[in-house]
Structure 1
């Protein structure tokens, strides 16, 4: 059945990380370093949560930079500040407009810092198409913890099965599926959906294809 609410992951899925990459390059670091730093950020955040503690996304990002570079604190802060300069990928505007036109509620769901999604959507002129932006920092948790997705569904006033997560990160979709949500995956930096995860309900070639597949589902 067609979901009542579609929740989009933010970093990479909706917003292009190019400004963060550019900030690293301006400091003399290779552009491809961002992928490693971003992966280490996720590892740090999930590790703290799994161990029973917690840290903010920005703190995990700073820790990853400190582990992988010799950048001083001021330069690390400069790179982290670039998250507030993100803009949507070109395919985001038409995708959100199609969902809004079909009467599907749209939200964002991130464990990133509050304000990042809002700033990027506003810069891209699509903030009005998004009902609300949710950051799991509110509940001191990181995706893909089950509690994040259940909290998001509750915040939107729908049962988990009436919400679908759309993400370019397979681990995120896997987490949503395990929490009872629907899941749709499409590639950006990842090339295929891993067989070790629960099969995604929808796998598309791109964001437009994911939205097409969701709207092709029968209305509930």
Structure 2
């Protein structure tokens, strides 16, 4: 292990951002709130499938199409747009700002590695008051592939001019941390969403119940012996 990271990248959707308010938008267009989870899972699956097939996966286009499919094409395009536009209005989790601040104040480069567009991600960070802690935004649109393809983590390391083993990804998804590990990066997994990481994924370097706990543990990783 190379020691503490000099770059920490945070996943955004479900790690920094709470998706649950999208359920209210679904109800406002006549759909059940419980549709949120299968829609988001279909959205992720379809985007990953396009990446595996060697194609690009534009965030908005895939989000809209997966919502059309999940609702059996019963929604108008206006309603589809209304729900998908909700991604830009979502709140952050309470532990997001403290975790970003902790790493930033430690002198470590902080970034976001996400599948949304660069402009929308920056607008979200500004609106949520997180931009002051974030030095870089790297997206699937930049890299040309979705997570967890190893190339996106390698692209991020190259973009930020750091060895891959000095870059860490923080996420609430074990599959995302697995992708980072497979690419040679460090990872920090937060248990908020999945409770346990599961045996099929490579273990993260650090785990915690909150993003702040994960941040503390990443900053406390021992340096290699000389």
**CA displacement at 1:28 relative to structure 2:** 2.2
Unpaired stretches in structure 1, ≥5 consecutive residues: none
Residues 139, 217 of structure 1: CA spacing in aligned structure 2 closer, same or farther, 3 A cutoff? closer
**CA displacement at 1:219 relative to structure 2:** 5.4
Q: Does 1:151 align with 2:128?
A: no
Q: Does 1:17 align with 2:10?
A: no
**CA displacement at 1:131 relative to structure 2:** 0.1
* Residue matched to 1:52: 54
Unpaired stretches in structure 2, ≥5 consecutive residues: none
TM-score between the two structures when normalised by the length of structure 2: 0.92
Distance of 1:208 and 1:62 partners within structure 2: 33
Q: Is the 8 A contact 2:169 2:188 kept in 1?
A: yes
**CA displacement at 1:18 relative to structure 2:** 3.1
Q: Is the 8 A contact 2:57 2:146 kept in 1?
A: no
Say which is worse superposed, 114-123 or 183-192, in terms of deviation.
Answer: 114-123
Runs (4+) of structure 1 exceeding 3 A deviation are: none
Say which is worse superposed, 169-178 or 135-144, in terms of deviation.
Answer: 135-144
TM-score between the two structures when normalised by the length of structure 1: 0.95
Distance of 2:9 and 2:62 partners within structure 1: 23
* Residue matched to 1:206: 210
Distance of 1:158 and 1:175 partners within structure 2: 18
**CA deviation profile, 1:32-62 (whole Å, cap 9, x unmatched):** 2111111101110111111122221211111
Candidates 56, 78, 82, aligned match of 1:78: 82
**CA displacement at 1:199 relative to structure 2:** 1.3
* Residue matched to 2:164: 160
Q: Number of matched residues?
A: 220
Q: CA RMSD in A?
A: 1.4
**CA deviation profile, 1:184-203 (whole Å, cap 9, x unmatched):** 10123222101101111112
Distance of 1:101 and 1:140 partners within structure 2: 31
Q: Is the 8 A contact 1:88 1:121 kept in 2?
A: no
Distance of 2:162 and 2:188 partners within structure 1: 18
Residues 65, 19 of structure 1: CA spacing in aligned structure 2 closer, same or farther, 3 A cutoff? same
SS at match of 1:212: helix
Residues 191, 116 of structure 1: CA spacing in aligned structure 2 closer, same or farther, 3 A cutoff? farther
Q: Is the 8 A contact 2:192 2:209 kept in 1?
A: no
**CA displacement at 1:7 relative to structure 2:** 0.3
SS at match of 1:200: coil
SS at match of 1:3: coil
Distance of 1:53 and 1:127 partners within structure 2: 31
Q: Does 1:90 align with 2:75?
A: no
Distance of 1:111 and 1:119 partners within structure 2: 14
* Residue matched to 1:123: 127
Distance of 1:122 and 1:87 partners within structure 2: 12
